[in-house]
Amino acid sequence: MRQLNLQRSLLILSPFLLLFVVHAPLARAEKTRFDLAQLQTPPGFHISVFADQVDGARMMIFTPAGVLLVSQSGEGKVVALPDPKHTGKAAPAVTVLTGLNEPHGLAFHEGKLYVAENDKIRSYDWDEASLRASNPKALADLPTGGGHSTRTVLFHDGKMYVSAGSSCNVCIEKDARRATVMEFNPDGSGQKIFAKGLRNAVGLAVNPKTDTLWVTVNGRDWLGDDLPPETIYDLGKDGGDAGWPYCYGDRVPDSNFTKPGDNRCQSVLQPKVQMQAHSAPLGLAFYEGTEFPAEYRNNIFVAFHGSWNRSIPTGYKIVRVKLDDKGQPQGGAEDFITGWLAPGEKQKGRWMGRPVGILFGDGGMYLSDDAAGVIYRVTWTK
């Protein structure tokens, strides 16, 4: 009862104090020593360290010639991890950019490198031979300030899409660009809100079967251990409204923002997948390759960064969702790689690592880990 009363009290705190409560527990958890042997894959798969000492590794992209680039948000950097002989082990990192404001999302479009920082999108001329980015051009200002600070960028059908999370745990935003996916022309013009009501859409990917943008969304906190579910949405061709802060999960009204008889949640987007609350889904990728067995093709893979707002921690793993021939989910999330939550530490919440980004290429799956500072490579060896 005391815990329940505490949660109710926290709901009425000011947004600024609530933001502190939301983010502060991350700093209290004690990180344990990284141990690759603790990671468990399905039989026949092999996981190895492609690169280490990549502090705060977040999102990844391959250059046009196949060199892996990684954003290091906390370091303000983008680095290249070349593997010219395709050994499965990166050569020493090459610094591509420094002095950035929380760089996160990376993309290439028509030969240029695009970097999503906390407050802006910039494009760069790209020199593959020297792995250098030059001639920066600021294309668009993004909403900044407190709350969720990462920005993810993706190009599709000639448009640039950028996500910006909410400024709070749950609130009515003053800046309409928060908790959205925005659409731009490649030069940064023509800004509009493509989809809204997405509390924190971090993973963006195009479903090759539906040719539409799908996103992972982190749900709100302080509704208990198992509410609300984390979600994946298909934004379709026209985007839409996923309902936050008025709704959560499968169009469930949030009683803190709706009154009896308020039917607005009936018309919002319905999630394609619902997953364990507080798992913190970040990167997602659709696998259409041929290196993995057939049962793993036409799957969504999702990185769970891991919980803090739960009595027993959850997440800290990679899951997959099977899709049918039309690109629609067949069931819920299934474990693919587990073990980042340290053995025997489920009550204390100590971790060895926290998965963030997922990228397929060069014969395998690449995973970034911003806690251990590692890039993993997953291959099929059986």
pLDDT computed for residue 347 by the predictor: 54
Q: Which two tokens stand for residue 366?
A: 């690449």
CA distance 315 to 335: 10
CA distance 184 to 182: 7
Instruction: Spell out a b/e string for 270-303, using b for 16 or more CB atoms within 10 Å of the CB, else e.
Output: ebbbbbbbbbbbbbbbbbeeeebeeebebbbbbb
pLDDT computed for residue 8 by the predictor: 38
Task: Report H helices in the chain.
Answer: 2-11, 15-23, 25-28
CA distance 298 to 55: 32
pLDDT computed for residue 343 by the predictor: 67
Decide: helix, strand or coil at residue 206: strand
β-pairing, 192-196 vs 240-241, is: parallel
Structural domains for the chain: 2-380 (2.120.10.30)
CA distance 308 to 56: 18
CA distance 329 to 321: 7
pLDDT computed for residue 5 by the predictor: 39
Euclidean distance between the first and final Cα of the chain, in Å? 52
At 342, the amino acid letter reads A
Per-residue pLDDT of the chain (382 residues; tens, 9 = 90+): 334 333 334 333 333 333 333 333 333 345 567 889 999 999 999 999 999 999 999 999 999 999 999 999 999 999 999 999 999 999 999 999 999 999 999 999 999 999 999 999 999 999 999 999 999 999 999 999 889 999 999 999 999 999 999 999 999 999 999 999 999 999 999 999 999 999 999 999 999 999 999 999 999 999 999 999 999 999 999 999 999 999 999 999 999 999 998 999 999 999 999 999 999 999 999 999 999 999 999 999 999 999 988 888 999 999 999 999 999 999 999 999 999 987 665 555 578 899 999 999 999 999 999 999 999 999 999 7
> What is each CA distance from 80 to 21, 91, 377, in whole angstroms?
35, 9, 15
> What is each CA distance from 356 to 8, 71, 266, in whole angstroms?
31, 11, 32
CA distance 337 to 340: 9
pLDDT computed for residue 351 by the predictor: 83
pTM above 0.75, yes or no: yes
Helices first, then strands: H and E counts in the chain? 3, 27
CB neighbourhood size of 102 (10 A)? 20
CA distance 295 to 273: 19
Q: Which residues pair with 248 in a beta bridge?
A: 252
> What is each CA distance from 155 to 127, 163, 287, 357, in whole angstroms?
20, 12, 18, 17
Q: Which two tokens stand for residue 204?
A: 């963006």
At 375, the amino acid letter reads I
